[in-house]
Amino acid sequence: MISRRHVLKAGTAAAAGAALSAPAIRGAAAQARRETLLLVSENPPNSTDIHGVGANRPAYEASWNLYDRLMTFGVKKDANGVDHYDYTRLEPELAEEWILTPTSVTFKLRRDATFHDGTPVTAEDVKWSFDRAVSVGGFPTFQMRAGSLEKPEQFVVVDRHTFRVDFIRTDKLTMPDLAVPVPAIYNSGLAKKHATAADPWAMEWLRANPAAGGAFRLERWVPGQEMVFARFDDWKSGRRPALARVIWRIVPQAGNRRALLERGDADISFDLPPKDFQELAAARRLKIVGTPVENAMQYIGMNVTRPPFNDVRVRRAIAHAIPYQRIMEQVTFGTAVPLFGGPAEPTEPVWPQPSPFVTDLDRARALLAEAGYPNGFETTLSFDLGLASLNEPIAVLVAESLARLGIRVTINKIPGANWRNELLKKELPLITNTFGGWLNFPDYFFFWAYHGQNAVFNTMSYQNPEMDALIDRSRFTQDEAEYRAAVKGFIAKAWEDVPRVPLFQPKLMVAMRENVEGYRYWFHRQLDYRVLAKV
């Protein structure tokens, strides 16, 4: 709990370091300044509780740094030497070790681990936290179910520091699913004190008051403006973080964020427009890191249930009418991996991979004529207003290119709240959107985006029994060869039916000052303060 003493102590420390613009930075302030990281970003977190109703992606960042999980992923170096999480290796965090059997996994918890308020961490807390995750509904419950973690009965307290999870089916996603942000460990004693009859899981209270034991604790939160984290010195679940304090400031204007970085008033920022990253790479005293976002792509989706997109020839025509090269140059500015112009048939069971389509207006015109639309048709191209800086130029270029085929496109910007609503209704004929799965498996992506269960991410309402069969076989087969054949099979099906046209694989771009070390790329695309340092 943030006691007044903490705040005052922190307050005075901050005040001491406040002589930012004053020429002579006093010793203590300089030292505090070096151990404090200033992060600026566009969208504020709306909760510190990953299970909270409507918790947004920035809220995942808060939860990731405030709470512990049983396990975490290892680390490897990616192509250009940047730390990258390694989803093939699971490493201890709160659990020191675990025994995996075909039917269950048993975790041995650290004996000396405590929550921020000093109470020791027990298996009872883990049980309460997992029960909560599968019971509150919405996104957390759905994410747990993705790894076949569905019922409280699966979670058993063996003794004070031993916790077992019983499997209901063999699912290779279960173990990795235990290391994602959702199964965080809550201080159940503290949480239950603030639960009520109407709110048994203390959702209300835990939104702004973390009952956590992670590497950082919450010093101050001014919603929509600032979140300040302070290092939890008694943290036992990993190496002691180098940073003493992290200040997260919300600066809506991208131009201002860039100016702050260039003038050295901010240490790190991401979600800057692609063009800025290209130019900042040349700026002195700044480091730009770009990591392709695993299992994610920007695509043009077509609603296969609505004419004219129910005709595959029209969809192929659209795929050939996209100005791929100009989008790469004028929209992504080299901050993305192209996903077009690939081989006709998929050679590797890897996702995402380039589609066989290239810009070929004549071919497109021929296909349209063949489908019975020689002089085009009228339609709308919609996208999420929240991601307008990327989607709008794409929409404008696509619309202009389709116009050459006589397809008259009205561009439709939809505010965030309404965008999700429209996706649910699945009525939009043509959209440009981005989607990425946390767990880096092709079948995980296709399960959500192409499977007949018609989840909200299957924006094209594409239902094809053959595709479903291939996806299900790949999910549950134990045989490596059968898995590889199934994956290549459903990718070929995706090219053949082309309900959605891949454009590019986005890169998570991060700009930081030269003296910031230890950045690690995570699948949840948020910042891990625990590994950062300022030299």
Partner 1 sequence: MSTLAHARHVLAENPVTAVAFCLFALLVAAAIAGPSLVPYDPLASSDRALAPPSVQHWFGTDNLGRDVFSRVVVAARLDLGMAFAAMAIVFATGTVAGVAAGFLGGWTDRVIGRVTDTIMAFPLFVLAMGLVAAAGNTVANVIWATAIINFPIYARVARTEANIRREAGFVEAARLSGRGTLQVMICEILPNVLPIMMVQVSLTMGYAILNTAGLSFIGLGIRPPTAEWGIMVAEGAGYIVSGEWWIAFFPGLALMLAVFTFNLLGDGLRDIVDPRRRS
Partner 2 sequence: MVLGLVAQRLAAALPTLAGVVVVTFLLTRALPGDPAAYFAGPAATREAVEEIRRTLGLDQPLWLQFLDYLGDLARGDLGISITTGQPVLADLAQRLPASAELTLLGLAIAANFGVTMGVVAALRPGSWVDHLCRMIATAGVSLPTFFTGLLFVYVFYYVLGWAPAPLGRLDAFSSPPPHVTGFYLIDSALAGDGETFAAAAAQLALPALTLGIFALAPIARMTRGAMLAVMSSDFIRAARASGLARRTLVLRYALRNALLPVVTTLGMVLSFLLGANVLVEKVFAWPGIGSYAVEALIASDYAPVQGFVLTMGVLYVTLNLLIDLAYQAIDPRVRIEA
Q: How far is the CB of 415 from partner 2 (least distance, A)?
A: 5
**C-alpha count within 13 angstroms, C-beta hemisphere, residue 20:** 10
The least distance separating partner 1 from the CB of residue 393, rounded to whole angstroms, comes to 6
- For partner 2, the closer CB: 38 or 471: 38
Which one-letter DSSP state was computed for residue 428? Answer: -
Phi then psi for residue 275, to 5 deg, are: -60, -40
The entry of partner 2, partner 1, none that residue 137 binds, CB within 5 to 8 Å by partner kind: partner 2
**Cβ 245 to partner 1 shortest distance, Å:** 28
Q: Out of partner 1, partner 2, none, which partner does residue 226 contact, by CB within 5 to 8 A per kind?
A: partner 2
Nearest to partner 2 of 247, 498 (CB atom): 247
d(CA 59, CA 96): 27
Rounded to the nearest whole angstrom, what is the least distance from the CB of residue 401 to partner 1 in the complex? 9
> Min. distance of Cβ 411 from partner 1 in angstroms?
5
Return the structure tokens found at 243.
């940073």
Go through 451-485 and write b for each residue having 16 or more CB atoms within 10 A of its CB, e for each that does not.
Answer: bbeeeebbbbbbbbeebbebbebbbebeeeeebee
Which of the listed partners (partner 1, partner 2, none) does 400 bind, with a CB threshold of 5 to 8 Å by partner kind? partner 1
Residue 114 or 412 with smaller CB distance to partner 2: 412
DSSP letter at 523 equals T
- Residues contacting 220, CB < 8 A, separation 6+: 2, 7, 10, 226, 227, 228
Residue 314 or 428: which CB sits closer to partner 2? 428
Chain contacts with partner 1 (rule: CB under 8 A)? 254-256, 258-259, 262, 273, 275-276, 279, 326, 329-330, 385, 388-389, 392-393, 395-397, 399-400, 410-413, 415
187 vs 391, which CB is nearer to partner 1? 391
The span from the CA of 172 to the CA of 302, in Å, is: 32
Task: Pick what 168 binds: partner 2, partner 1, none; C-beta below 5 to 8 Å, kind-dependent.
Answer: none
- Interatomic CA distance for residues 261 and 330, integer angstroms: 23
Binding-site partner at residue 396 among partner 1, partner 2, none, CB < 5 to 8 Å by type: partner 1
Is residue 126 within a helix (H) or strand (E), and if so which, with residue range? helix 123-135
In whole angstroms, give the CA distance from residue 58 to residue 386.
14
Contact 506, 352 (CB under 8 A): no
d(Cα 57, Cα 37) in Å, to the nearest integer?
Answer: 20
Question: Site residues (CB under 8 A) for partner 2?
Answer: 11, 14-15, 17-21, 33, 36, 38, 40, 46-47, 52-55, 137-139, 142-143, 207-208, 222-226, 247, 249-253, 255-256, 259-260, 262-263, 265-266, 385-386, 414-418, 420-421, 423-424, 448, 455-457
- Cα distances (angstroms) measured from residue 413 to each of 198, 287, 302, 371, 382: 38, 33, 17, 29, 6
Q: Is the dihedral of CA 425, 426, 428, 431 positive or negative?
A: positive
**Chosen from partner 2, partner 1, none, partner binding at 11 (C-beta under 5 to 8 Å by type):** partner 2
Nearer to partner 2, 210 or 354 (CB): 210
Residues 6 or more apart in contact with residue 395 via CB below 8 angstroms: 381, 383, 411, 432
Question: Least separation, in Å, of the C-beta of 319 and partner 2?
Answer: 25
Look at residue 129 and give the partner it binds from partner 1, partner 2, none, a contact being a CB closer than 5 to 8 Å depending on partner kind: none
Q: Given the complex with partner 1, which of 393 and 452 has the nearer CB atom?
A: 393
Q: Which does 399 bind (CB under 5 to 8 A by kind): partner 2, partner 1, none?
A: partner 1
